[in-house]
């Protein structure tokens, strides 16, 4: 048994020396980590040796000063293009000389601009040394990258690639936002049609915008894989915005016809050109007799000094519904008590507008669920609104080609119960001479917001 005064065993001395000279890593003081430190050294001691000395682990204090935040902002550096072999070993002075004197093909020396950026040069300093403006620097670098993506494309025509050997960077820059396949097709189209930078930009925008127009009229007639069709569709849509400007509309449609690549697209444009001419002729005819379209205002009936009460039938009831409505409805006495020839359960009170006041006996109001029944183009904002059509059953003859008449059961119309409105000329063309009544006014429902009572031509063309 060892005494306290006896010299220390060699193992203890060895252990203490080991701990005093070995630098331990800083680790968390968890029980598992302590066992990993103690386990290797415990093999050096006998069963009677005192436990080894565990060094104090130094844990950094949370109050130690935190590192200063670094400035993470770095100016944009375009990705480097692979330099041609003849430019790889040039020093800065030689690079500047190549750029200043345009020594070589434009797409070969364009990557040298990126190398100057990496060396710390700025666009103004490069412009001062080489004469290439900041705008041209960006255009050359981007255009060279675009050319590199399509140079090996099997879809690129050899003539197109040859065209971009000596220039055309302003064209390639405009198609930078397109995919690789779109770039090749667009480059072929641009070179083949000799378009400038502005027209090329329009083509690229038309391609990007084409999928958004799938709800537009004629969209399926244009081919998305053809840059010319995409551009033609963009011009086709633009022409529809010039309803009141015949010159601009004609110019847009002519340009669309020239831009189109497929026969189907050209056919759609030609139909638009000829169809619109017919529509303009119809508009001139409608000016003679025009059916008023009126929106009823909130409280207008209560404020009116004179009103009329008319029987109402639903369009789904068809011709039988119109025929069962009372013909005679008049007001008698000092109080204007309304009397009908027979009982009816649906009535509407309207202001005594001039067209309504001219109706003698036989006035009827037909309720339609939406404005699709109207035989003219209706603004899509209002097409789903219900409408009331006031007709005079005392006037059943088809008198005017440009008048509007209430008819029933044409067989293939698809309207509610077969009731619909038709123009007099259309009815005469199919040999119809009688109708259910002449339309005198169309009434739209009131809305909270105060809009014009009479509907503008733009809404009901």
| Rg of the chain (C-alpha set) | 43
Tokens of 434: 């009688």
Can you give the pLDDT at residue 73? 60
- Rounded to 10 degrees, the C-alpha dihedral 134/138/139/140 comes to 100
**Rounded to an integer, what distance in angstroms lies between the CA atom of residue 374 and that of residue 423?**
10
**Rounded to an integer, what distance in angstroms lies between the CA atom of residue 141 and that of residue 169?**
9
**Rounded to an integer, what distance in angstroms lies between the CA atom of residue 41 and that of residue 166?**
77
Q: What is the mean pLDDT of each run of 10 residues along the chain (461 residues)?
A: 46 42 46 45 48 52 55 59 69 90 89 89 93 94 94 92 93 93 94 94 94 85 94 92 82 93 92 64 46 82 82 84 78 75 83 82 84 70 79 85 78 55 83 86 76 43 39
Can you give the pLDDT at residue 199? 94
Q: Among 291, 290, 301, which Cα is nearest to 446's?
A: 301
The values of phi and psi at residue 221, to 5°, are -85, -5
Can you give the pLDDT at residue 69? 57
Can you give the pLDDT at residue 5? 46
Can you give the pLDDT at residue 247? 87
Can you give the pLDDT at residue 252? 92
3-state secondary structure the chain: CCCCCCCCCHHHHHHHHHHHHCCCCCCCCCHHHHHHHHHHHHCCCCCCCCCCCCCCCCCCCCCCCCCCCCCCCCCCCCCCCCCCHHHCCCCHHHHHHHHHHCCCCHHHHHHHHHHHHHCCCCHHHHHHHHCCCHHHHHHHHHHHHHHHHHCCCCCCCHHHHHHCCCCCHHHHHHCCCCCHHHHHHHHHHHHHHCCCHHHHHHHHHHHHHHHHHCCCCCHHHCCCCCHHHHHHHHHHHHHCCCCCCHHHHHHHHHHHHHHCCCHHHHHHHHHHHHHHHHHHHHHHHHCCCCCCEEECCCCHHHHCCCEEEEEEEEHHHHHHHHHHCCCCEEEECCCCEEEECCCCCCEEEEECCHHHHCCCCCEEEEEECCHHHCCCCCCCCCCCCCEEEEEECCCCECCCCCCEEEECCCCCCCCHHHCEEEEHHHHHHCCCCECCEEEEEEEECCCCCCCCCECCCCCCC
The values of phi and psi at residue 403, to 5°, are -85, 170
Contact 105, 81 (CB under 8 A): no
**Rounded to an integer, what distance in angstroms lies between the CA atom of residue 42 and that of residue 38?**
6
18 C-beta neighbours (distance < 10 Å), count: 14
Can you give the pLDDT at residue 14? 41
Q: Model pTM greater than 0.85?
A: no
Can you give the pLDDT at residue 10? 47
Can you give the pLDDT at residue 309? 85
Contact 181, 152 (CB under 8 A): no
């Amino acid at each position: 048994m060892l005494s306290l005064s006896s010299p220390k065993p060699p193992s203890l001395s060895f252990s203490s020396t080991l701990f005093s000279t070995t630098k331990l890593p800083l680790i968390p003081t968890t029980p598992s980590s302590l066992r990993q430190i103690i386990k290797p050294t415990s093999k050096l001691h006998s069963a009677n040796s005192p436990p080894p000395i565990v060094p104090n682990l130094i844990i950094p204090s949370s109050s130690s000063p935190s590192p200063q935040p670094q400035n993470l902002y770095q100016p944009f550096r375009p990705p480097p293009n692979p330099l041609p072999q003849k430019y790889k070993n040039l020093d800065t002075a030689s690079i500047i000389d190549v750029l200043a004197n345009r020594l070589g093909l434009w797409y070969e020396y364009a990557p040298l601009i990126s190398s100057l950026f990496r060396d710390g040069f700025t666009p103004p300093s490069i412009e001062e040394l080489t004469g290439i403006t900041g705008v041209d620097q960006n255009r050359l670098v981007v255009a060279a990258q675009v050319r590199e993506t399509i140079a090996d494309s099997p879809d690129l025509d050899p003539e197109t690639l040859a065209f971009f050997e000596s220039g055309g960077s302003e064209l390639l820059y405009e198609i930078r936002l397109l995919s690789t396949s779109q770039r090749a097709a667009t480059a072929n189209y641009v070179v083949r049609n000799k378009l400038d930078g502005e027209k090329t930009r329009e083509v690229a925008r038309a391609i990007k915008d084409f999928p958004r127009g799938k709800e537009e009229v004629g969209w399926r007639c244009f081919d998305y894989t053809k840059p010319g069709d995409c551009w033609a569709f963009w011009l086709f849509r633009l022409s529809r915005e010039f309803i009141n400007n015949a010159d601009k509309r004609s110019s847009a449609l002519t340009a669309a016809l020239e831009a189109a690549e497929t026969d189907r697209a050209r056919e759609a444009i030609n139909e638009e050109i000829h169809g619109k001419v017919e529509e303009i002729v119809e508009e001139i005819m409608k000016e003679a007799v025009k059916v008023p379209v009126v929106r009823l205002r909130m409280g207008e009936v209560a404020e009116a000094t004179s009103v009329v009460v008319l029987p109402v039938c639903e369009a789904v009831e068809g011709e039988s519904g119109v025929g069962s409505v009372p013909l005679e409805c008049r007001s008698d006495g000092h109080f204007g008590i309304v009397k009908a020839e027979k009982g009816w359960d649906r009535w509407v009170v309207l202001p005594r507008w001039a067209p309504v006041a001219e109706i003698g006996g036989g006035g009827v109001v037909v309720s339609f669920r939406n404005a699709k029944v109207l035989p003219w183009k209706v603004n899509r904002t209002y097409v789903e609104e219900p409408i009331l059509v006031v007709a005079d059953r005392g006037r059943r003859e088809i008198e005017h080609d440009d008048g509007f008449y209430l008819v029933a059961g044409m067989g293939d119309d698809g309207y509610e119960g077969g009731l619909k409105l038709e123009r007099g000329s259309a009815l005469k063309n199919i040999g119809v001479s009688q109708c259910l009544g002449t339309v005198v006014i169309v009434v739209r429902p009131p809305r909270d917001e105060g809009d014009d009572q009479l509907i503008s031509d733009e809404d009901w063309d």
